[in-house]
Structure 1
Amino acid sequence: MSDSQTVSAAVAKLYDIYPFPPEPLLDEPPPGYNWRWNWLAAYNFCTGRKPQNQNIRILDAGCGSGVGTEYLVHLNPQAQVVAIDISKGTLEVAKERCQRSGADRVEFHHLSLYDVEQIPGEFDFINSVGVLHHLPDPIRGIQALAKKLAPGGLMHIFVYGELGRWEIQLMQRAIALLQGNRKGDYPDGVQIGRKLFASLPENNRIVKREKERWAMENHRDECFADMYVHPQETDYNIDTLFELIDASGLEFIGFSNPGFWQLERLLDKAPELIERAKELTQRERYRLIELLDPEVTHYEFFLGRPPITKIDWSADNTVLDAIPELNPCIDGFPSQTLFNYDYQIVNLSPAEFEFMQNCDSKSTVSDILTKVELGLNEVRKLLKLQMILLTPNYS
């Protein structure tokens, strides 16, 4: 068995013992939404417009216990979903989860990401959350996925960041040292880790970070094992992240939390430094931000296979002729106070609220503005806030 196969077998063993994520199985669709798994919302975020096609193929690459798979099926009612995972035990949990919640448009395969070429055809949307960083060769993994992405398709990726996981790395190494030749006995590793946290002083940096950030989820052994006794983990920084992205051959579209990557939120009091930072490349600015705010525990972002056409809504006629509809990932409408796609509270003005009430997927912006006193810049604001989707009218 090669080193890569040995590591993959160890990863599969961990998840056979501790299926992850350990979310409860429900006899109904999952609550809420994750907009990154909704094709309409994700496509709009990446391109500025509603996608032309909703009858798509989705790949959940490394589906684990099926939490994301379940959402992908329920949030994309016209899509066909394929899910793969290396752990047979975890895959059984995923199958039961989807069966119980009525997520019946999904096909499961016990398969490594490396072997994804065995699945015929291409995919319009590939979701891979928390997987690439657990592969012995992440570059080989992302390249395998990239080959399955259709032209114009999107890939949603989540990988770990080294700066925000520094204390986790220390505890991982401490547990491994104490395990010695029992490394690979995951319940033993969990027991050692629990004893360490119980025994260390309360003001210990690792203990404080655990209590502040992770303790609520880590009371479950599945989460604790995934975090502290995993046999394979690669943590990234901006430089190594873009090495991974560049190796995929795909286009980097952007991080799914763009607000974090604005230098102004950190250096608003030093405009001269913001001005100086304009001399840096975009990637250097990203690196500067994470160095100044080293809370990055993970990177979540979108890649695409060209042609990815981003629409420009700066021309008034283009906006006026477009057909608006509500973003499917908002919660609380109809109300002037609601949650946006990122579960942030948004307070609509009376005119904005009235505009959104008139978004019937048939009327153009021009039609609605004959009934509602709202300016085009306010319409663009709703679009920028991801409150509405626009479909261009080229007829």
Structure 2
Amino acid sequence: MKDKLNISSAVEGLYDIFPFPPDPLVDEPPPGYNWRWSWPVAYSFCTGQTPKQQDIRILDAGCGTGSSTDYLVHLNPEASVVAIDLSSGALEVAKERCQRSGASRVEFHHLSIYDVCNLEGEFDFINSVGVLHHLPDPIKGIQNLALKLAPGGIMHIFVYAELGRWEIRLMQQAIAMLQGNKRGNYKDGVKIGRQLFASLPENNRLVKYEQERWAFENKRDECFADMYVHPQEIDYNIDTLFELIEASGLEFLGFSNWEYWDIKRLLGKSPELIDRTIDLNDQERYRLIELLDPQISHYEFFLGRPPLDRVDWSDDQVLSTAISQLSPCIQGWPSENIFDGDYKLVNLSREEYEFLQACDEGTKTVGEILTNLPIGLETVRSLQSRLLILLNPS
């Protein structure tokens, strides 16, 4: 227990000195979208259909300086939001951020995830990004969050992956060794880390990795400190990740970056190798993918508490009678060139654009829309799988 308290105190101390994330404060709503923080889009991803209610309760568990909280409030205008964090310094920034952006439907609590039971009631949607891997006991943390998730609710989790952070771990250990008895002095750790990167040869593996992947964001000391001098970090692989998920008692609903987890992305040129993966279960297939492409630095996924009503749109009749509506997480509409919920550019065909135009009202069935368009149901399924439209049984 004492070790947990010491670690929690050290983590709190880091974020009091270097509040994270260091996103700028602005006097307007945050720019763009992140579909993982939009209740209707996230729920549609998890179940195939839009949720029945919008006036839900959301918990931002480990809100830091409030960037996620700000989005959660603005992307879910009928929801009430509760945000908690271990760092009082980060919370002060979060409060100012939301006050300045007009995100008024939120209450903040200086609270550890270990004490989340002190909050009243349950939540329909829980967001916990970049938190569990900094706890001394992540299993206890995810179990505490699971107890606050309402039946039929979903949880969005983000934790570190060990393969894509191998070089980061080496630099963390090097900085710690050079700090000696100054470990815990985070400003000193940042100073040593920057000196190391400046002194190592340009072709050094750690230097090259930093320059290729992280150097732009690590110009800010807050980001550099979070990455290289954090006092507590647990990195996962697929096997240990699913041990964490199993301990939660919740149902795994899928990785939000689903394209990465498609084995055909890696082995599509070899039908023979694809055939050899058929007998693998999902977890084995995921492990194979990260072994063959070990660049992944984190896992981002959804969990849910049953009962969760799912809709299978593979049945043509069911899909034809579905009500189709435009996703709220696209940017640049109306245009044939839009950005999706991941800020990726999507070039729509003329027929896809016309279908989305017909979805704007949110009252027509897929069948009604297709009577005037020369496209089939597979195009509709593609739009739905890319989260450009949301579907609901009529």
Secondary structure, in 3 states, of the residue corresponding to 1:358?
A: helix
Aligned counterpart, 1:379: 380
In structure 2, the residue matched to 1:235 is 235
Compare 280-289 and 19-28 and name the one that shifted more. Answer: 280-289
Which residue matches 1:157?
A: 157
Q: Given residue 318 of structure 2, which amino acid in structure 1 is its aligned partner?
A: T
Deviation by residue 1:13-55 (Cα, 9 ceiling, x = unmatched): 0000000000000000010011100111111111111111111
Residues 66-77 of structure 1 aligned to structure 2 (within 5 Å): 66-77=66-77
The whole-number CA distance in structure 2 between the counterparts of 1:369 and 1:171 is 56
Distance 2:178 2:347 in 1: 53
Task: Give the drift of 1:93.
Answer: 0.5
Please give the alpha-carbon distance, in whole angstroms, between the structure 1 residues aligned to 2:372 and 2:277: 45
What is the CA–CA distance in structure 1 between the aligned matches of 2:235 and 2:156, rounded to whole Å? 18
Q: 1:123 matched to which residue of 2?
A: 123
Following superposition, the deviation at residue 149 of structure 1 comes to 0.3
The 1-side partners of 2:380 and 2:233 are apart by 44
Q: Report the alpha carbon displacement of residue 366 of structure 1 after superposing the two structures with TM.
A: 2.9
Alignment of 1:283-362 (within 5 A): 283-359=283-359, 360-362=361-363
Structure 1 residue 355, shift from structure 2 partner: 1.8
Q: Secondary structure at the match of 1:77?
A: coil
Counterpart of 1:249, as a letter, is G
Where does residue 220 of structure 1 map in the other structure? 220
Matching residue's letter, 1:38: S
Q: Provide the C-alpha distance between the structure 2 equivalents of 1:368 and 1:266, rounded to a whole number of angstroms.
A: 36
Give the CA deviation at 1:271: 1.7
- Between the two proteins, the alignment pairs up a number of residues equal to 393
Name structure 2 gaps, 5 residues minimum: none
Q: What is the alpha-carbon distance in structure 2 between the residues aligned to residue 237 and residue 5 of structure 1? A: 26
The answer to whether residue 389 in structure 2 is matched with residue 388 in structure 1 is yes
Give the Cα separation in 1 of the matches to 2:138 and 2:366.
Answer: 45
Which residue type is aligned with residue 298 of structure 2? H
Relative to the length of structure 2, the TM-score reads: 0.98
Establish whether residue 271 from structure 1 lines up as the match of residue 253 from structure 2. no
Task: Note the C-alpha offset of 1:245.
Answer: 0.4
State the distance in 2 between where 1:306 and 1:323 align.
Answer: 24
Distance in 1, matches of 2:338 and 2:124, equals: 31
2:296 match: secondary structure: coil
- AA partner of residue 368 (structure 1): I
How many Å separate the matches in 1 of 2:299 and 2:119?
27
Letter in 1 for 2:129: V
Unmatched tracts of structure 1, length 5 or more: none
Partner of 2:184: 184
Say which is worse superposed, 353-362 or 76-85, in terms of deviation. 353-362
Q: Which residue of 1 aligns with 2:61?
A: 61
For residues 70-149 of structure 1, the aligned pairs below 5 Å read 70-149=70-149
Alpha-carbon distance in structure 2 between the residues aligned to 1:20 and 1:260: 27
Matched, 1:365 2:369: no
| 1:66 shift after superposition | 0.3
Query: What residue identity is the alignment partner of 2:377?
Result: L
Identify the residue that residue 38 of structure 1 maps to in structure 2: 38
Deviation string 1:44-87 (CA, Å, 9 cap, x unpaired) is 11111111111110000000000000000000001100000000
